[in-house]
Structure 1
Amino acid sequence: MRVIQFIEDGQLCVGVVAGDDEIEVSGAREGVYGLALQAAREGVALEALVRRLDSGRRVRYQSLVDERRLLPPVTHPDAARMLISGTGLTHLGSAASRDAMHAKLQEDTNLTDSMKMFKLGVEGGKPAAGQAGAQPEWFYKGDGSLLVAPECDFPVPGFALDAGEEPELVGVYVIDDQGAPRRIGFAVGNEFSDHLTERFNYLWLAHSKLRPCAFGPELLLGEPPADLRGASRIVRGGEVLWEKPFVTGEANMSHTLANLEHHHFKYPQFRRPGDLHVHYFGTATLSFSDQIRTVDGDRFEISLDGFGRPLRNAVRFEPAPAVVGVTSL
């Protein structure tokens, strides 16, 4: 089952994707977040609860797109309680690059920090069930206030050096009343980063990640296939400027999802009841690697087989901000 969120008459609505252009409208009024908490409290499957609340009403999917009424497929009523984070150096990439990487890992005794981190994942990122494996790279992205809805623009701050896409699988989680993480589902994501800032010095990675992001428009309930294949493209002036296939899912990763989830939720502060977590699982495909630099109005389009319609967002460059001054009280 794939679900979406949208606005109708000023109200948050939940819909189930029933066809290419048909959405079954749910009677739920507290969004997917509210449904997830209700399912946890009742001890029922989220998909069954969504089915139970079907209103019998239908709307056209395309009209929601055209009128820009789509929302991210999960939101929190308090944006500050929606934590967005991610992990990097988690994907093996293509077979050719994988072979080259493994050869280098065996031959080079003077590895960079990034290569050392990748090596940790290759050697210990897929432990046996119930065991903790290698700890991945982890970064903080922001809270729900930086989340951009599908079909809307990414604001690029004037101090940014770059505005590049990162096509990724996203996991969405709610913390139940007992403080246990509960997986809601998975979506296509664009983690969107400043790669020039990161490349200048890897210690600026944290700065490069403090940018808007998006996921959706659809949320897949249940487990995703292990081998996921999609496409990432940039459209400029109505024509495709750049396009590449990308792969994700555990079959194409050096870590299991369970291992990445453990190393996020092992911290008690990430298990506060009622909080929502959005986690980007990483990628091996970037237009930046092909020397692409985006300009105002470029549109990202990211699709993943089995996840419905593509995630589309354009970039909008903002003027340089004034220096932020701080005054004493």
Structure 2
Amino acid sequence: MRLIQYREKDGQRRVGWITADGNGAHPLSGVTTVYELAQRAIAAGGKLVDQVKSLAEESSVDYAQLLAEGRVLAPLDHPEPARFLITGTGLTHIGSADARNKMHTATHGNNAPESDSMKIFQMGLEGGKPGPGKIGAQPEWFFKGVGSCVLGPGEPLPLPGYALAGAEEPEIVGLYILDPQGHPWRIGYTLGNEFSDHVTEAKNYLYTQHSKLRACSLGPELLVGELPQDVRGKTRIWRNGKVVWQEDFLSGEANMSHSIANLEHFHFRYSMFRRPGDLHAYFFGAAVMSYSAGFKTKPGDEFEIEAPVFGKALRNKMELVPDEGLVSVAAL
């Protein structure tokens, strides 16, 4: 089952259940957001799937038209954006260490000592899948921002004027809600572009967090239920109407060095991330990226990320925004 959030032409928000052919969406009655839908499922003590089936209307809307008109939203948001925490991890995929090590080698040379990235990747290979009921190796973790940094499909990705670069990171994202008792529930999964400044990151890995404090995009569809063990997709960069770079990517636990349960444990073990009513989007890591392949992006490039299990592709164009200059603080 896959869901979208969208706006009617009059601006009214709706949630839609994607039709079997992927070309339409059945509106859900009685809810206007996935956040409301998840709360209803928790209150009813049932599954999200059951709620969707009980609320789905027989009529359907044209999904392609919604996308073309820019009316499809990110698949999850919070009425208070500061209560939607955007975080992530890296070095979780079999190919991700190679991509990160290329960045390290390009900056520090072939004879540089083993990076901390390679060390933590090896820890994941050895202990990232401990099995049910067990705690494994601790993964990498970073803070991306809050709900105000999340963009939907088709929205422009801002490249800050102070940035040294900007490029895509195609990832699967787990989406979560905390119930009134502070217990985390996974709503589902979506595609994400964890847009980052890899040049800043490669200068010094203590700058990694700075490189992550950017906008990101999610969607267009929310996959409800379990994630397939093997997820295959493509990431592309379009420039002036032509594909100038593309690569296949693999995800899902069969292609990861950590289990999703292990990643989730090391995120939600912190009580500050278990506040009732909060939402979380957790990026699971990228296996491939254009920067590590030596490709240089430019403002105006459009990033496309697709995987058949998630339905339609996620597309966003990068746009340069002016540097605000010195940000000064005034004393009260």
> Which structure 1 residue ranges, 5 or more long, are not aligned?
102-107
Structure 1 residue identity aligned to 2:17? V
Structure 1 residue matching 2:119: 3-state secondary structure: helix
Residue number in structure 2 paired with 1:207: 210
Shift of 1:20: 3.1
Given that 1:229 and 1:247 are in contact with CA atoms closer than 8 Å, whether structure 2 keeps it comes out as yes
Deviations 1:202-231 (CA, angstroms, capped at 9, x unpaired): 000010000000111000000010111000
SS at match of 1:135: coil
Query: Once the 2 structures are TM-superposed, how far is the Cα of residue 57 of structure 1 from its aligned partner?
Result: 2.6
Q: State yes or no: 1:296 paired with 2:275.
A: no
Q: CA deviation at 1:292?
A: 1.5
Mapped to 2, the partners of 1:184 and 1:66 lie a distance apart of 26
Question: What's the CA shift for 1:111?
Answer: 2.7
**TM-score (norm: length of structure 2):** 0.93
Match of 2:84 among 72, 82, 85: 82
Q: Where does structure 1 differ by over 2 angstroms across 4 or more consecutive aligned residues?
A: none
Partners of 1:86 and 1:138 in 2: CA distance: 6
- 1:42 aligns to what? 44
Identity of aligned residues (%): 51
For the pair 1:228 / 2:225, whether they are aligned, the reply is no
Question: Residue 198 of structure 1 contacts residue 204 of structure 1 at CA under 8 Å; is this kept in 2?
Answer: yes
Cα distance in 2 for residues equivalent to 1:47 and 1:59? 20
The residue that corresponds to 1:105 in the other structure is none
> 1:169-318 maps to which residues of 2 (within 5 A)?
169-318=172-321
Report the equivalent of 2:117: 114
Q: 1:129 aligns with which of 110, 129, 132?
A: 132
Question: Is 1:150–2:167 an aligned residue pair?
Answer: no
Using the TM superposition, name which of 209-218 and 316-325 deviates more.
Answer: 316-325
After superposition, the C-alpha distances for 1:164-186 in whole angstroms (9 at most, x for unaligned) are: 00000110000011110000000
- Residues 116-173 of structure 1: CA distance to partner in whole angstroms, max 9, x if unpaired? 1001101110002111100000000000001111011101111111110000011000
Q: 1: distance between equivalents of 2:246 and 2:30?
A: 38
What secondary structure is seen at the aligned counterpart in 2 of 1:150?
coil
**Contact 2:159-2:299 at 8 Å conserved across structures:** no
Check conservation: 1:227, 1:251, Cα contact below 8 A.
Answer: yes
**Aligned counterparts of 1:28 and 1:234: Cα–Cα separation in 2:** 39
- Equivalent-residue separation in structure 2 for 1:61 and 1:264 (angstroms): 34
TM-score (norm 1): 0.94
Name structure 2 gaps, 5 residues minimum.
103-110
How many angstroms does 1:291 deviate by? 1.7
1:53 corresponds to: 55
Deviation of residue 85 (structure 1)?
Answer: 0.2
2:12 equivalent in structure 1: 11
Counterpart code for 2:135: A
* Distance across 2 between alignment mates of 1:181 and 1:323: 40
1:93 aligned partner: 95
Aligned-partner SS, 2:305: strand
Rounded to whole Å, the distance in 1 between the matches of 2:32 and 2:275 is 20
